[in-house]
């Protein structure tokens, strides 16, 4: 069964890819075999992280990039990380409809993945879904996340190239700095660049880039202007994305960056297993038995931790 599924994934079959991601998300039988096989077949696609504050137009920019890449004959996968709130229900309806249209294009696969309780789990699921898309023969994988939490930044950071999308609203650049977005950008995209204040904010971002110490790869971070709803500036952006990838590849930096990302992923996987295997029923019961005397300060937390270990 799983063997057939894998064969279909590697021939690019959309339904099989979707099924495999569902198996991973829900921890269903076959997961391990799929993960191992897909991992060994992955490593060819160019992974692009697209992040930025809510409302920056990341979804429409992603759509423009997908169209352009498809027009150029490339196969594209998209993972949209959707930090659902019980109130907002996640992405806007318009975004969803646009995404569905894009998903109809040949060679394009789109999947939205949402936070279900633990963000740690999401981050692993996204990276595993990327491996499947990679193994299925996609040339480009776009990972779209909202840059509001550390975990979403971590997800974006697993990409080969990270775009940080901002809009010319006052204060946006400062907020982006506070949210840690400035530290992870390979390319800045100033979207909705026809709005008032665009030149001012582009200059501010450039100034901030100059203040930063050079990044480890000595890559020059540029600010590109786009107007995604008019499909403007997308070709220039794709050129810059490709330049970054070539630069990283030619200098051996891509290998270095991917190695660093895999190291982090292994740490995460191992630490998860350690945690899960330690907190068995016996240890959980011990904790619960002691919790009342700890809460009432009859016992201190540090002695208990030593004891249980």
- Residue ranges in contact with a copy of itself by CB under 8 A: 32, 35-36, 39-43, 54-55, 83, 85-88, 119, 146, 148-151, 171, 174-175, 177-180, 182-183, 208, 211-212, 255, 258-259, 262-263, 265-267, 269-271, 273-275, 278-279, 287, 291-292, 294-297, 300-305, 308-309
Minimum separation from the CB atom of position 275 to a copy of itself (A): 5
d(CA 242, CA 24): 30
Minimum separation from the CB atom of position 285 to a copy of itself (A): 13
Minimum separation from the CB atom of position 307 to a copy of itself (A): 11
Picking from 274, 196, 280, 190, the residue whose alpha carbon sits closest to that of residue 236 is 190
Q: Which is nearer to a copy of itself, 15 or 259 (CB)?
A: 259
- SS3 of 133, please? helix
d(CA 68, CA 227): 14
8 A C-beta contact, residue 146 and residue 62: no
Q: Which is nearer to a copy of itself, 172 or 240 (CB)?
A: 172
d(CA 24, CA 4): 17
Q: Which is nearer to a copy of itself, 101 or 307 (CB)?
A: 307
Minimum separation from the CB atom of position 27 to a copy of itself (A): 14
Minimum separation from the CB atom of position 136 to a copy of itself (A): 15
Mark 211-221 as b/e (b = at least 16 C-beta within 10 Å): eeeeeeeebeb
Q: Could you tell me where the DSSP H helices lie in the chain?
A: 2-10, 14-25, 31-41, 58-71, 93-103, 119-135, 150-157, 172-178, 198-211, 234-250, 253-278, 281-295, 301-308
Q: Which is nearer to a copy of itself, 65 or 161 (CB)?
A: 161
Pairing of strands 161-166, 187-190: parallel
Minimum separation from the CB atom of position 246 to a copy of itself (A): 19
Minimum separation from the CB atom of position 296 to a copy of itself (A): 8
For the beta sheet containing 222-225, the strands, ordered from the edge strand earlier in sequence to the opposite edge, are: 108-114, 76-82, 140-144, 46-51, 161-166, 187-190, 222-225
Q: Which is nearer to a copy of itself, 198 or 208 (CB)?
A: 208
Tokens found for residue 200: 């001012």
Q: Which is nearer to a copy of itself, 97 or 269 (CB)?
A: 269
Q: Which is nearer to a copy of itself, 218 or 277 (CB)?
A: 277
């Amino acid at each position: 069964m799983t063997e057939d599924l894998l064969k279909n994934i590697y021939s690019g079959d959309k339904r099989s890819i979707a099924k495999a991601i569902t198996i991973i998300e829900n921890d269903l039988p076959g997961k391990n075999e799929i993960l191992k096989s897909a991992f060994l077949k992955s490593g060819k696609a160019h992974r692009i992280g697209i992040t930025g504050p809510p409302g920056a137009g990341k979804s429409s920019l992603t759509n423009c990039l997908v169209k352009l890449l498809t027009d150029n004959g490339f196969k594209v996968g998209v993972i949209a990380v959707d930090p659902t709130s019980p109130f907002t229900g996640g992405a806007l309806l318009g975004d969803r409809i646009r995404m569905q249209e894009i998903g109809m294009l040949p060679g394009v696969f789109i999947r939205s993945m949402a936070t279900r309780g633990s963000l740690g789990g999401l981050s692993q699921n996204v990276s595993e879904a990327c491996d499947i898309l990679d193994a299925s023969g996609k040339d480009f994988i776009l990972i779209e996340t909202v840059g509001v939490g550390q975990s979403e930044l971590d997800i974006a950071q697993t990409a080969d190239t990270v775009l940080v999308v901002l809009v010319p609203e006052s204060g946006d650049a400062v907020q982006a700095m506070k949210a840690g977005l400035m530290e992870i950008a390979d390319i800045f995209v100033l979207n909705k660049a026809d709005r008032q204040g665009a030149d001012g904010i582009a200059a501010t971002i450039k100034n901030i880039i100059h203040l930063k110490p050079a990044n480890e790869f000595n890559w020059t971070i540029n600010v590109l202007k786009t107007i995604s709803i008019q499909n403007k500036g997308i070709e220039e952006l794709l050129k810059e994305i490709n330049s970054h990838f070539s630069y990283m590849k030619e200098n051996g930096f891509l290998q270095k960056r991917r190695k660093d990302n895999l190291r982090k992923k292994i740490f995460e996987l191992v630490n998860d297993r350690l945690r899960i295997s330690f907190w068995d029923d016996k240890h959980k019961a011990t904790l619960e038995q002691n919790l009342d005397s700890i809460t009432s300060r009859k016992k201190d937390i540090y002695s208990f931790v030593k004891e249980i270990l």
